[in-house]
């Protein structure tokens, strides 16, 4: 069975975006170069990127034209097939790669089927409401959180109200930039 890995960037006070929905607080390529090297390495075990509509809109404006000399994950990210979950979008594209697929309807059922298919792991970036829905259904196997040393004060939180879930910490790493990575995996239920 394929694993579903959620990768998120958060501020120290737990926000995934500022109050306007901007993620500029972690957008500095120089600040995240060492972290991006780890992301690039981890993408060897990923064959599908999952995105919600809002994250797709942010990503498609940047990544297809990103300079691979400045953004070391650009080539791998652009080459990897993407599934966009949305009931509002009518079409999706990904520049010259043409490897984005629109998935309408029930995202939970679609992701359950994806996890059962053969292949490498799935990664979900951004997409806060989709992440919350998948957590509620116990479909997330790992959460990787990169914490940026900044306090936003207010904004959009990754986690909303949900049933208690227990995870175990598998990795803690601090980068030269001050960013900290903590990886968690879902604890088996007794």
- pLDDT tens profile 68-88: 998 999 999 999 999 999 999
The answer for residues whose C-beta is within 8 angstroms of residue 36's C-beta and 6 or more apart is: 29, 71, 72, 73
Q: Over range 34-40, report the average pLDDT.
A: 89
6 has a pLDDT exceeding 90: yes
Q: Which segments of the chain are extended strands (E)? A: 4-11, 15-18, 46-52, 82-85, 100-103, 121-125, 142-148, 155-157, 167-174, 180-186
| Top-confidence residue, 186 or 43 | 43
163 has a pLDDT exceeding 70: no
Which residue in 27, 87, 32, 24 sits closest to 54, CA to CA? 87
pLDDT for res 8: 93
For residue 2 the two structure tokens come to 């394929």
Q: Name the band, by pLDDT with cuts 50, 70 and 90, for residue 59.
A: very high
Q: Looking up tokens 């994806």, which residue turns up?
A: 114
* CA–CA gap between residue 146 and residue 5 (Å, rounded): 13
Report pTM. Answer: 0.92
DSSP state of 72: T
Domain extents in the chain: 4-175
Please tell me the least confidently modeled range out of 105-119, 151-165, 174-188: 151-165
167 has a pLDDT exceeding 70: yes
- Quick check: helix, strand or coil at residue 62? helix
Q: Over range 114-136, report the average pLDDT.
A: 93
31 has a pLDDT exceeding 70: no
pLDDT for res 24: 75
Q: For residue 18, list its beta bridge partners.
A: 155
pLDDT for res 43: 96
Q: For residue 109, list its beta bridge partners.
A: none
Q: What is the CATH number of domain 4-175?
A: 3.40.430.10
């Amino acid at each position: 069975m394929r694993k579903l890995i959620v990768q998120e960037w958060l501020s120290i006070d737990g926000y995934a975006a500022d109050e306007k929905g901007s993620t500029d607080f972690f957008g500095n390529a120089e600040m995240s170069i060492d972290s991006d090297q780890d992301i690039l390495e981890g993408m060897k075990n990923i064959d599908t990127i999952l995105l919600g509509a809002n994250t797709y809109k942010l990503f498609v404006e940047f990544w297809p034209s990103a300079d691979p000399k400045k953004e070391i994950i650009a080539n791998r990210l652009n080459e990897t097939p993407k599934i966009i979950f949305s009931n509002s979008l009518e079409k999706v594209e990904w520049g010259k790669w043409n490897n984005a697929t629109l998935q309408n309807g029930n995202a939970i059922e679609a992701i359950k089927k994806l996890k059962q298919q053969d292949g490498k792991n799935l990664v979900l970036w951004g997409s806060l409401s989709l992440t919350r829905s998948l957590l509620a259904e116990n479909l997330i196997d790992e959460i990787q959180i990169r914490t940026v040393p900044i306090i936003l004060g207010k904004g959009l939180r990754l986690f909303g109200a949900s049933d208690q879930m227990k995870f175990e910490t598998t990795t803690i790493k601090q980068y030269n930039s001050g960013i900290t990575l903590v990886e968690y995996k879902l604890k088996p239920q007794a």
